[in-house]
Copies of this chain bind each other. A is one copy, B any other.
Amino acid sequence: MLGFVGLGLYDCRDLTLRGLEILRKADKVYLDTYTSIVPNFSVEELENLIGRKVVSVDRSVLEGRGLFEILEEAREKDVVLLVPGDPFIATTHISIRLEAEKRGVKTEVVHAPSVVSSAISATGLQIYRFGKVVTLVYPDPEVGFYPISSYEVLEDNFNRKLHTFFLLDLKEDRKMTIADAVDVLFLLEEKVGSGIISSETLGVGVARVGSPDSVLKAGTLEFLKRYDFGPPPHSLIIPSSLHPVEAEALILLCNADREMIEKWTKKIK
C-alpha cells in the first residue's frame, strides 16, 4: 500500500490524528522535500512523534528511477509518502499515484489543510468569489520568457468580478516573496497589461498561513511591496469587487486601511 499523507502548512502539529496513526503503523516513511516548504518542520521532531525513521527524498528520486523502487516496495509493505500541504494540490503527486494504481499498487490518501483553502479562509474573503487559481513564476527576460498567462488569468477573473489567488513560485533556490510578485505583476502590466495592475491596486499578502506567526496584510500593491512579511512561503490575492462582509474582514483581519477599502469598493463594483 502506498499512502499519501498531507503534512499541512507549518510544522508537525498540522498532521491530522488519522495521518499520525498511519505513519505510526507504516513499514517505511518517505518525506517529499521539494514541492513546497513547511516553515517550521523538523524531521527529528517527526521521527520522535511517529517512532520511526523518515527518509527524505528529493526531485531526483521522485521523478527518476527511485520512484519505481518505492512503488515496488509498496507492493509488499505499507509505505507512506509525506507531502507538504494537501497531498494532491501539487500535480507531481497525482502522477505518482496514477503510476502506482497502474501497477496495481493500492493507494490511500490522508488529507491535510491546503494553502489555497487556508489562506482564503484566513483572510475572510469568500471562496465563492474566487476565479481560477494560478501560480506566478519568475520571468526570464534573457530568453524572452514572461508569465503572460498568469496576467490573462487575473484579467479574466477581475473582469468577471472574481478574486485571483496567486500561488508563488517555490523553486529550491528562489522562493518568490510578495514583493517579488508585485514586481512581476508590474512588469506584466507594462508588457501586456490592460490596466488592472497599478500601484493603487488592492492586494492581500499572506505569509506563512497556518503558522502562529502568519502575517496577513491588505493594502495597495505599492504598500505591500514595501511591507515586511518575513520569510516565505508567501501568497498574494488580488481581489476584485468586495462583498461588504469581505470589506470588513480585510479591515479587521488583514489590517487594511478603512479609507483605502472604501475607495476600492466605490471604484470596483
Interface residues of A (CB under 8 A from B): 6, 8-9, 12-18, 20-21, 86-89, 91, 94-95, 97-98, 101-102, 109, 111-114, 116-118, 120-122, 124, 126-135, 156, 160, 162, 209-210, 245, 248-249, 252-253
Contact across chains for A127 and B121 when beta carbons are under 8 A apart: no
Contact across chains for A91 and B245 when beta carbons are under 8 A apart: yes
Q: Within the complex, what minimum Cβ distance (angstroms) separates A64 from chain B?
A: 18
* Given A12-B17, A17-B12, A87-B121, A130-B132 contact (CB < 8 Å): yes
* Given A17-B12, A111-B210, A245-B94, A128-B132 contact (CB < 8 Å): yes
Cβ–Cβ < 8 Å partners of A135 in chain B: 128
Q: Within the complex, what minimum Cβ distance (angstroms) separates A128 from chain B?
A: 6
Task: Name the residue on B nearest A9 (C-beta).
Answer: B111
Q: How many chain copies does the complex carry?
A: 2
Q: In the assembly, what is the distance between CA of A111 and CA of B16, in Å?
A: 11
Q: In the assembly, what is the distance between CA of A253 and CA of B98, in Å?
A: 8
Contact across chains for A133 and B122 when beta carbons are under 8 A apart: no
Complex A-B: 26 CB contacts under 8 Å = A8-B16, A12-B17, A13-B16, A14-B18, A15-B17, A86-B113, A86-B121, A87-B121, A88-B124, A89-B121, A91-B245, A98-B124, A98-B245, A98-B248, A98-B249, A101-B253, A111-B117, A111-B121, A111-B122, A112-B113, A114-B114, A114-B117, A116-B127, A128-B134, A128-B135, A129-B132
Q: Which of B17, B94, B245 contacts A17 (CB 8 A)?
A: B17
Q: In the assembly, what is the distance between CA of A114 and CA of B102, in Å?
A: 28
* Given A14-B18, A16-B15, A17-B20, A253-B6 contact (CB < 8 Å): no
Q: Within the complex, what minimum Cβ distance (angstroms) separates A19 from chain B?
A: 9
A16-B113, A89-B121, A114-B114 are known contacts; what are 16 more A-B pairs with Cβ within 8 Å? Answer: A8-B111, A13-B16, A13-B21, A14-B17, A16-B17, A16-B112, A94-B124, A94-B126, A94-B245, A95-B245, A97-B253, A98-B248, A98-B252, A102-B252, A111-B209, A130-B133
Cβ–Cβ < 8 Å partners of A13 in chain B: 16-18, 21
Q: In the assembly, what is the distance between CA of A117 and CA of B118, in Å?
A: 10
Q: Within the complex, what minimum Cβ distance (angstroms) separates A98 from chain B?
A: 5
Q: Within the complex, what minimum Cβ distance (angstroms) separates A255 from chain B?
A: 11
Task: Name the residue on B nearest A124 (C-beta).
Answer: B94
